[in-house]
Every structure is written in structure tokens, then in C-alpha cells.
Structure 1
């Protein structure tokens, strides 16, 4: 066999061997890529994303699109070839598997957590939007969950309204933890609560719940914190949350979406439907960001993939959480203008500028 032919054959066999190895060898990475965008002012699968009843609404136009990111599943074994291709591609990001599924979390567990975060983001979006419009919302601190085999099990129940701890009124969920941790483990703490059934019946009747009772619990020592092993923190085994009563019905319907990052866009969609005129001026605006009850916008993951998805869908402007601005500005798709937002009010004012054509005054993101 001629030397040249032998060399080519050997090179081909080595290349085939390397490709086979690349396909067979698995690496601990996952892929993120742009997901679909959904107009919160429009329909999804034949139903309005935002349905409001019991209050006058107004016609809307333009787009206020929430954005998503696709990720590979927890059980997906990526090979070297796929990882290299993902690293080289502009429309995907390769990240360590533990970034998406920390502590060995299964896909089912991750989906459940995302669903819970999505549900909470909807509630906060409603509260923030109505607060921005000066529409009163009734809020109560409640027991969200009770830990199995804890001091609270059997004594407190999910949905119980927490009025006070040790006689001190509570206004926010974090107040509960602060008052409990004033105790040493083994000491008694008194919860003043309205039972969940009583509260639910009152809410159904449109009345303020009454009929509180005191529940005394003996605190226990919290599981040891590796970062502070000497700390003896008292707990009773509950997670406090907030329950809201809205003056009219706001229903958000969007299947197969999870996580908290659509909160800002839901709030803006609600505001647009509840106010005369078009908040976008007919423009195509997309965005992302978590939101809390007070209207503060928080950062999200996968910002660059969301920018690509928004640009591909036709967006001209992208509402960007302040904490994501640097990353977003470092790789902005052409034709897309980033608009920095810290609060819901910031976003609303920026949309009003877009509506008026005053885009030179929009707060911009920068790389520094």
C-alpha cells in the first residue's frame, strides 16, 4: 500500500475513533437555548393570557412579550461533541449541570419548584400592578407550609392567618421568623391565628376574617448550619407567606411555563388592560424580570438567550432588570434596544416614553 494512502487511511481511522469517543464520552453539562415568547396582551392556545372580570378593561395593541429559555432535562447525558457544538454556537449556552439542577435535583423536583415559583410570581404581579394603579389589595400573613414532625405539626395548618406572635402584630412573613428566633430552643412561643377554614369562609363571603385563637408551641433547635455551627436558632417548623384578596378577578393562564421571571411582564400587561390607551403605543416590547409585591424588579437567569428569542420574535425594545444589564449589554442582538428597569414604575415610565416616541431618554444598559 502506498505511503500516502496508508497515511490517509490512518488519519481517517483516527478521526472516526475520536468522533466515536466524543459521542460515547458523557460530560456533566447542560444546554440553554432561546425559548418561545408570549404576548401577555394576547392569546395562548386560544385563551387570553390575562383575563380580568369584575372591572372595566380597555382595548390594547402592540406586544408586551414575556420570554423563556429552553433547557435540557435533568436526566439528559450530554456528550463531548454536543458540548463543543453548544460552546461554538451563538444561540445556545453550555453550563455545568449543577447550575440548573443543584444538589442532584431531579427533573420532576425542578418542574415542581418552577411551578410553585410561577404561581407565586403571578400573585406578586397582580399585587404590584394594582398597587401601581392605587387599587387597594387586602394582604394577610399566613402559614404556607408546615414541616412534617415539627413542633407546629397538628397545631398550625397551611392557610391559617397569623395575626401576632407573642402578642406582637405581624405585617410581613419575615416578621414571624424574627419573633420566633428571639427565643432560645425549648422556650414557648404564642401564635395568634385565625384557622384556615374560618379565613376561607370569610373571604368567600367578602368579609374580614375574625375569630382568632392562641396556639402555644415549644420551639426546637434548627438543623445545624455548616456556615455557623455554633448558632442555636429556634424554629417551630413553618414557612410563613402572604395571602391576598383582590377586589376583582385576574386570571393568568399560561401552560408549560415555570419560574418567576415573567412577573414584570404580567404586571405591565395587567396595567395596560386596566388603563385607557395603549401602554406600548403599538410597539413590540419584550422583557423579563421577577417582581415582588412592592414592585421591585429582580434579576433572572439566561438573559442572553432571552434576548435572542425576543429579537427573533420581532421585538424592538427589551425591558432588562438592572442586575442583568451588564451581561445583556455585552452581547445584544442587532436591532434590539435594551431598557434598564429597577421597579415596575421604571418600566411603566419607559413604556410611556416609547409610546410618545421619546426613545432618546430611555435608561440604557452598559457594559461597565
Structure 2
């Protein structure tokens, strides 16, 4: 007569250890992680409409709607934040999607900054970006504008705290006229060491010196400046619930298109990204890999990328998308007009490996 063999104690103990280890790993997988995931966000055609109405509006007697083509701005969504961190399972899933990028949380959210403060800073940046875009477009179209920059926020614990105040009007930085938000940033970055601010506070001129701190290699003094322009015509931009400055160039292109007879795009679908200064300089942005994937998903054939982002563009362009590198608003307009007219596209600047 045969009897089943009994498992010895060592075998049972081994299986128990395996199950305990698996349980521990499973439990850890759902613990909060110190990472966020950057992924393609919603896209918006600056020549089209949102739920709030036309994205860009200009005076009706100057308006030239473009029924063909598109000038699509791109956004990046951030999954996870200090108040609602991603689990390790969430982070692991991002490895499977080439359009996602995993970043340390402290690169996206400052340790002392609340979600509300981050959102408010993004809102202010968006407003300044829109104002600078209107200024750049109108200057391109031959209009004259008046400009000033004020301080909308001074970050707690920053070098500027106790030195600059909300409401200060910034006249110049390191001797360079503060024409807009971006001219301030460039003036700070151009100096190795303390920056000199000439400001006006309640009608009184003041000169102060601030030693920046480095954040991801960039010198920061801890202020959120805000553009204030006086425009000769009424131009409005309606894009609710989107923050940050990276849509500036596409806003400016949309305004130029609306104010110009005929179709700027010639029926071609464009997308792009980049900050804009009031004088038309295009600056770098974050998340360009995600934005290229977003452009392709939105049906764009051509993509405008800031020259300063070319290092991230090379080797990461999704198939089916053609990228043009631009440094100014004029560069972007030239590229769009060249493609629209069937010109020599091989002469357009592209991003090349260093």
C-alpha cells in the first residue's frame, strides 16, 4: 500500500519564505515612489476653438480666419505630485511607453512649494507668455507697444525674499532694460555672480543686489515676474486650465495668421513649442520628447522646435514627423511660408547631433 510522502520541515519553511518575500515585494510595489511621469498632454489648434470659444480673437475688421491647416500648441501632463505620489507599479508602467519620461519629483516640484503655489506660478507664467506673444506678433505686424514688468510673487526662502517685493516694477537688470520676463531671465543668466536690479517701488527708484542660487544649472533669484503691455488693438487668448510659458511661440504664430490675409500655413498641419519674448526670441522648454509624440498624435506633419532643445530632439523624433529648428518668430514664419509655397524645404534648419 502506498502513502503520499510527507513534506519535511525545511521544504515547508522554504515555501513560506518565498510567499513572505513575494508578499513583501507586492506590498512595496504599491508604496509611494519619489518619481513623477511626464507624458503628452492635450493639444490645441491656435487657429481653432476651445470650450471657451475661439482660442485667439482679434478685431473683426482685421481678422482673416484660416480655414485650412493648423498651428497646434502642445502640452505635457505630469502624473504624480507630492500630495498624490505615484506607486512603484505606476512608475514601472511608464517604462513600457516610449512617450513617457520618469523624473525625480524634486525636479518638478520644489520641496517648499505647495501644489497650489506651483499651479499659481504656472498661471502667471501662462498670462505673461500670452502677453509676450501678443507683443511679439504685433511688433512683427508693424504695431508699436508700451511695456513694463512687475513682480507678481517672491518665493519664500529665496534670495529675493526681503529684498524685492510684490508690485515692484523692474526697470533693468544688470544694466539691461527689462522689456519683458525673458529679458530679465537672460540678464540674470548672463552674469556670473550677483545681479543688480533697478526697480521702482511706490514711485521711488531703488537699486538692489541679489546673489542667485543654482537650480538644475540655472541661476534663480526667486521671483515670478509678470508682463504688462499696452496694446494698440484688442487681442485675446482663451485657453483655460493650462499653465506655463511654453506655448508662447504658437500663440504668436496664431495671432500673425489671424492678422494676415490668406493662409499662412497653406493647408499644412504644423505643431510646435517654445517660449517667446516680446521681441520675438524663441526659448527652450521642457518635455520636448513628449510634445513631439503629442504632435504626431494630433496629426501634425511638421514640428517647430527651439534651437536650444536640439540636443533632446536628435535621436528622439517619432517616425512621420519633420522637425525644423527655430531661434526667432521670424524663423518660424519663414519655415511655415517655405513649406506652404512649395519652396526648398531642404534648406530649412534642422537639429543635428553635436
TM-score range, shorter chain: 0.7 to 0.9
Kept in 2: contact 1:53–1:250 (CA 8 A) = yes
Name stretches of at least 5 consecutive residues in structure 2 with no aligned partner: 215-222
Write out per-residue CA displacement over residues 201-242 of structure 1, whole angstroms, 9 at most, x where no aligned residue.
Answer: xxxxxxxxxxxxx6376x7786x7678xxxxxxxxxx98765
List aligned pairs for 1:108-257, cutoff 5 A: 108-139=116-147, 141=148, 143-145=150-152, 158=167, 172=179, 215=204, 242-257=227-242
Change over 3 Å in CA distance of 1:354–1:23 after alignment to 2: same
Counterpart among 56, 79, 82 of residue 74 in structure 1: 82
Query: What is the CA–CA distance in structure 2 between the aligned matches of 1:239 and 1:268, rounded to whole Å?
Result: 25
1:303 aligns with: 288
Change (3 A) 1:146 1:289: closer
Moved more, 100-109 or 249-258: 100-109
Partner of 1:315: 300
Answer yes or no: is 1:25 the counterpart of 2:11: no
Whole-angstrom CA distance in 2 between matches of 1:330 and 1:70: 22
Moved more, 260-269 or 68-77: 68-77
Which residue in the other structure is 1:65 paired with?
72
Q: Is this contact kept in 2: 1:128–1:267, CA < 8 A?
A: yes
Shift of 1:316: 0.6
Moved more, 242-251 or 27-36: 242-251
Runs (4 or more) in structure 1 with deviation over 6 Å come to: 5-12, 146-149, 159-162, 168-171, 173-178, 224-227
Counterpart in the other structure of 1:366: 352
Give me the TM-score of the superposition, normalised by structure 1. 0.75
Unaligned runs of 5+ in 1: 184-188, 196-213, 228-237
Supply the distance in 1 between the matched residues of 2:255 and 2:88 (Cα, whole angstroms).
45
1:75 positional shift: 1.5
Q: Which residue of 2 aligns with 1:92?
A: 100
Q: Which residue of 1 aligns with 2:268?
A: 283
Whole-angstrom distance in 2 between the partners of 1:220 and 1:344:
33
Residue of structure 1 in register with 2:217 after alignment: none
Residue 206 of structure 1 aligns with which residue? none
**Distance change in 2, residues 1:281/1:151 (3 Å):** closer
Q: What TM-score, normalized to structure 2?
A: 0.78
